Amino acid sequence: MNASNFVEGVDFSLYLILSIAVFFLVGITAVMIYFLIRYRKKRNPVATNIEGSYTLEIIWTVIPTILVLIMFWYGWTGYKPMLTAPNDAMEIEAVGQMWKWTFNYPNGKSSDTLVIPIDKAVKLNLVSKDVLHSLYIPAFRIKQDVVPGKDFSMWFIGQKLGRYDILCAEYCGQLHSYMLSSVHVIEENKYDEWLNKKEDTSNEHPGLTLMKKNACLSCHTQDGTRLVGPSFKDIIGKTETIIVDGKEQTIIVDRDYIFNKISNPTSSTVKGYQSGLMPQLNLSEQEVNDMIDYISTIK
């Protein structure tokens, strides 16, 4: 059994096109070598002038046209079913952002990995929070751009139990390769159990849970290492230079500054870092405060 319902169509056209290409590569090279030997100066001192041949011209026009149409036909019939999801497909929202995938289920559950039941049509509604991404599941033979402001989607049926890679196939900045996740195809009863189980985050600081969910930690570390953004280690009370409206200011980092920065990332830029990378998120005051509570504990 194939990993998804699209493997057969895509693989067939790949192997078909590959076979035709290999056939001509070998055939043309062989004829070339034969002609080199057969018509070398010693054996064929006087060149023959050929005036043209309708028969030959018709053959080398008609045969390639038929071959190209065959390749088109199998490519098209492999691709067309990808365009429309069946009406009873289960819908999951897939969110791409710098640099993380998040999958949101209709019951409110969200997860970093895509978990789906076997043999069920799944439709992913693709959303980007920032730039162009592309959701790519090689084992399923599907790939679709995720474009901010556009309602794109993709669908498939997972037909074989297992875990398969999900990648971002559209270069989206420095940590593009961090957008590695997986799709986990499981039995339907296990899926129902998983879907209805609440993530146990009771031992985790709510601010940390929120930061994981919002991908803050793909750009900011907790151990002092510089990533694309400054580390959160010992950030409260730090003296630093920020740029506001093109003018430099020296500030001491406090809760108000961080609150402002998270609620409105473009209000200022930390000197030495690239502006405009931090996403504008829809967070409540409570959520921002939870995150700041957690950030203040990072020492």
Binding site for ligand HEC (CB under 6 A): 98, 211, 214-216, 218-220, 228-230, 235, 240, 253, 258, 261-262, 265, 269-270, 273-275, 277-279, 281, 291
- Name the token pair of 112: 């970093």
Q: CA-based angle 16:20:26, to the nearest 5?
A: 140
Choose the contact partner of 61 out of ligand HEC, Cu ion, none; CB within 5 to 8 A by kind: none
89 secondary structure, DSSP code: P
Nearer to Cu ion, 94 or 208 (CB): 94
Choose the contact partner of 208 out of Cu ion, ligand HEC, none; CB within 5 to 8 A by kind: none
Q: Which of 3, 10, 179, 253 binds Cu ion (CB under 5 A)?
A: 179
Q: From CA 232, how far away is CA 299, in angstroms rounded?
A: 8
Q: From CA 231, how far away is CA 137, in angstroms rounded?
A: 32
Q: Which helix (H) or strand (E) holds 182?
A: strand 181-186
Nearer to ligand HEC, 5 or 214 (CB): 214
Phi-psi region of 205 (alpha: psi -120 to 50; beta: other; left: phi over 0): beta
Q: CA-based angle 170:171:175, to the nearest 5?
A: 125
Choose the contact partner of 230 out of Cu ion, ligand HEC, none; CB within 5 to 8 A by kind: ligand HEC
For residue 99, whether the previous peptide bond is cis, meaning omega lies within 30 degrees of 0, is yes
Contact code string over 133-152 relative to Cu ion, x by CB under 5 A: x-------------------
Q: Report the nearest approach of ligand HEC to the CB of residue 64 (Å).
A: 48
Q: Report the nearest approach of Cu ion to the CB of residue 117 (Å).
A: 26
DSSP-assigned beta bridge partners for residue 97 = 100
Q: Report the nearest approach of Cu ion to the CB of residue 213 (Å).
A: 17
80 secondary structure, DSSP code: G
Sites of contact with Cu ion (CB under 5 A): 133, 168, 172, 179
